[in-house]
Amino acid sequence: METETGEKTPQTEETKISSAEQTLPNEEPIILKKLYPHAKQDLDALFPEPNLKKLLKDLVCTRQKNERFLKRVKLGAIHLEEEDESAEPP
Protein backbone atom coordinates (compact mmCIF):
# COMPACT_ATOMS: atom_id res chain seq x y z
CA MET A 1 0.00 0.00 0.00
CA GLU A 2 1.41 3.44 -0.88
CA THR A 3 0.65 6.79 0.67
CA GLU A 4 0.45 10.07 -1.24
CA THR A 5 4.15 10.69 -0.65
CA GLY A 6 5.03 7.39 -2.31
CA GLU A 7 5.91 5.59 0.90
CA LYS A 8 4.96 1.97 1.18
CA THR A 9 3.11 0.96 4.29
CA PRO A 10 2.73 -2.69 5.24
CA GLN A 11 -0.74 -4.15 4.95
CA THR A 12 -2.27 -5.54 8.07
CA GLU A 13 -3.54 -9.11 8.13
CA GLU A 14 -7.11 -7.83 8.35
CA THR A 15 -6.71 -5.81 5.14
CA LYS A 16 -5.18 -8.78 3.32
CA ILE A 17 -8.03 -11.08 4.36
CA SER A 18 -10.77 -8.63 3.45
CA SER A 19 -9.26 -8.01 0.01
CA ALA A 20 -8.98 -11.77 -0.55
CA GLU A 21 -12.63 -12.26 0.41
CA GLN A 22 -13.68 -9.58 -2.04
CA THR A 23 -11.92 -11.25 -4.97
CA LEU A 24 -13.56 -14.65 -4.41
CA PRO A 25 -16.60 -15.25 -6.59
CA ASN A 26 -19.91 -15.70 -4.85
CA GLU A 27 -20.63 -19.41 -4.69
CA GLU A 28 -24.06 -20.91 -4.60
CA PRO A 29 -25.04 -22.00 -1.13
CA ILE A 30 -24.71 -25.73 -0.63
CA ILE A 31 -28.11 -27.30 -0.03
CA LEU A 32 -27.66 -30.76 1.40
CA LYS A 33 -31.31 -31.72 0.80
CA LYS A 34 -30.61 -31.68 -2.94
CA LEU A 35 -27.40 -33.67 -2.60
CA TYR A 36 -28.92 -36.28 -0.29
CA PRO A 37 -32.63 -36.50 -1.22
CA HIS A 38 -33.20 -39.81 0.61
CA ALA A 39 -31.94 -38.55 3.98
CA LYS A 40 -34.46 -38.95 6.77
CA GLN A 41 -33.23 -35.89 8.70
CA ASP A 42 -32.71 -32.28 7.72
CA LEU A 43 -29.00 -32.35 6.95
CA ASP A 44 -28.82 -28.58 6.49
CA ALA A 45 -29.90 -28.08 10.11
CA LEU A 46 -27.74 -30.95 11.32
CA PHE A 47 -24.57 -29.68 9.60
CA PRO A 48 -24.73 -25.85 9.50
CA GLU A 49 -20.97 -25.26 9.10
CA PRO A 50 -19.94 -24.27 5.56
CA ASN A 51 -16.73 -26.34 5.64
CA LEU A 52 -18.62 -29.48 6.57
CA LYS A 53 -21.21 -28.81 3.86
CA LYS A 54 -18.39 -28.45 1.34
CA LEU A 55 -16.90 -31.75 2.52
CA LEU A 56 -20.26 -33.51 2.08
CA LYS A 57 -20.66 -31.97 -1.38
CA ASP A 58 -17.18 -33.15 -2.35
CA LEU A 59 -18.11 -36.61 -1.13
CA VAL A 60 -21.09 -36.71 -3.49
CA CYS A 61 -18.95 -35.51 -6.41
CA THR A 62 -16.27 -38.11 -5.69
CA ARG A 63 -18.86 -40.87 -5.49
CA GLN A 64 -20.31 -39.84 -8.87
CA LYS A 65 -16.85 -39.78 -10.44
CA ASN A 66 -16.12 -43.25 -9.06
CA GLU A 67 -19.40 -44.63 -10.43
CA ARG A 68 -18.66 -43.21 -13.89
CA PHE A 69 -15.16 -44.69 -13.76
CA LEU A 70 -16.45 -48.13 -12.78
CA LYS A 71 -19.00 -48.08 -15.60
CA ARG A 72 -16.23 -47.35 -18.11
CA VAL A 73 -14.07 -50.12 -16.67
CA LYS A 74 -16.92 -52.63 -16.87
CA LEU A 75 -17.72 -51.63 -20.46
CA GLY A 76 -14.04 -51.96 -21.38
CA ALA A 77 -13.87 -55.42 -19.82
CA ILE A 78 -17.00 -56.53 -21.71
CA HIS A 79 -15.58 -55.29 -25.04
CA LEU A 80 -12.29 -57.10 -24.41
CA GLU A 81 -14.09 -60.36 -23.58
CA GLU A 82 -16.13 -60.10 -26.80
CA GLU A 83 -12.96 -59.57 -28.84
CA ASP A 84 -11.29 -62.55 -27.17
CA GLU A 85 -14.27 -64.82 -27.89
CA SER A 86 -14.44 -63.77 -31.54
CA ALA A 87 -10.70 -64.38 -31.99
CA GLU A 88 -10.92 -68.02 -30.81
CA PRO A 89 -11.49 -70.59 -33.56
CA PRO A 90 -14.68 -72.68 -33.21
pLDDT at 26: 66
| 7 within some domain | no
Measured CA distances, 3 to 6, 9, 10, 22, 69 (Å): 5, 7, 11, 22, 56
Residue 81 included in any domain:
yes
Look at residue 18 and tell me if it is in a domain.
no
Per-residue pLDDT for the chain (90 aa), expressed as one digit of tens each?
Answer: 555 555 555 555 555 554 444 544 567 889 999 999 999 999 999 999 999 999 999 999 999 999 999 888 877 776 666 666 666 555
> Is 16 contained in some domain?
no
Find the helix or strand (DSSP H, E) in which 53 lies: helix 50-87
Range of the domain at 34: 27-87
**Number of domains making up the chain:** 1
Residue 19 lies inside a defined structural domain of this protein: no
8, β-bridge pairs: 2
Of 67, 60, 63, 66, nearest to 31 (Cα)? 60
Q: How far apart are CA 73 and CA 84, in angstroms?
A: 17
Residue 52 identity (one-letter amino acid)? L
